[in-house]
Amino acid sequence: MPGPGPPRWPEARGVSVWVNCACSLDGRLAFAEGVRARLSSPEDLARVQRLRAGSDGILVGVGTVVQDDPSLRVHWDRIGARPGRDPARIVVDGSGRTPTGARVLDGSIPTIVATSERARRAFPPAVRTVVVGSARVDLARLFERLPELGIRRVLVEGGAGILASVLRGGLFHRLTVYYAPVVIGGSTAPPMVAGGEAAGPADLVTLRLAGTTPMGDGYVAEYRPDGPALGRRPG
């Protein structure tokens, strides 16, 4: 369970996928219309930085880049560590709509944009572009390609669309959710998982609870997929 030491990543034959996000108690990732909400407690922020520091790549969707403009870097000072190797940034952008001025494109850290055949966009030379998929990014294929790019531990941070594909596709080994003791409510605040409707039990993603840990004024719940990870269903 998440503690103050370095996180223990799951063993995996190819890439090891750890999904992490912060939610309100009602399962929202952000404020109305997706406006960024800083939900993590200071303790959880430190936990996430340790998780980032132990990863080879941090993955987000282009929706998160457009909405939040994250730097996706490790804040070594928050974990009292000397700066080490920065994990690569991985942006899932099927249509090539990452803003030109986005921080992920600043060239300061190795960055991969995973895109699809429908994208007509050229990215700066410092950015590695990987085309996987015809209209959307095929995440299962992307994860297969990552080891050849030196990435074996990938931390998936969101947002709601990416979490839908990764969780519903069974493309993960571990999920940790920080639950902040707040309620957001409303109808436009993004839920933890977006995507299509679940019509019944056959559409459920089932998980096993591995434990819960108090984290400041909230708590972290850790889950494992209920069954073999990676590629149980199409992504």
Ligand X SMILES: NC(=O)c1ccc[n+]([C@@H]2O[C@H](COP(=O)([O-])OP(=O)(O)OC[C@H]3O[C@@H](n4cnc5c(N)ncnc54)[C@H](OP(=O)(O)O)[C@@H]3O)[C@@H](O)[C@H]2O)c1
Residues at the site binding ligand X, with contacts judged by CB under 6 A: 21-22, 29-30, 34, 36, 39, 60-64, 67-68, 92-95, 97, 136-137, 139, 157-162, 165, 190, 194, 235
Nearer to ligand X, 113 or 201 (CB): 113
Tell me how far, at minimum, the Cβ of 92 lies from ligand X, in Å: 5
Q: State how far the Cα of 175 lies from the Cα of 155, in Å rounded to an integer.
A: 10
Q: State how far the Cα of 139 lies from the Cα of 162, in Å rounded to an integer.
A: 9
Tell me how far, at minimum, the Cβ of 33 lies from ligand X, in Å: 8
- The Cβ of residue 26 has, within 10 Å, a number of other Cβ atoms equal to 14
Distances (CA, A) of 49 to 42, 52, 74, 81, 150: 11, 5, 6, 10, 20
Nearer to ligand X, 11 or 216 (CB): 216
Tell me how far, at minimum, the Cβ of 146 lies from ligand X, in Å: 15
Nearer to ligand X, 83 or 185 (CB): 185
Tell me if 139 sits within 8 A of 169, measured CB to CB: yes
Tell me how far, at minimum, the Cβ of 193 lies from ligand X, in Å: 9
CB-side neighbour CA atoms (13 Å) of 185? 2
Tell me how far, at minimum, the Cβ of 63 lies from ligand X, in Å: 2
Nearer to ligand X, 136 or 152 (CB): 136
Nearer to ligand X, 84 or 134 (CB): 134
The two structure tokens encoding residue 104: 């992920």
Q: State how far the Cα of 79 lies from the Cα of 66, in Å rounded to an integer.
A: 27
Q: What is the dihedral of CA 48, 53, 55, 57, to 10 degrees?
A: 90
Nearer to ligand X, 62 or 90 (CB): 62
Q: How far apart are the first and last CA of the chain?
A: 27
Nearer to ligand X, 77 or 117 (CB): 117
DSSP-assigned states of every residue in 121-179:
PPPPTTEEEEE--SSS--HHHHHHHGGGGT--EEEEEE-HHHHHHHHHTT--SEEEEEE
Tell me how far, at minimum, the Cβ of 11 lies from ligand X, in Å: 25
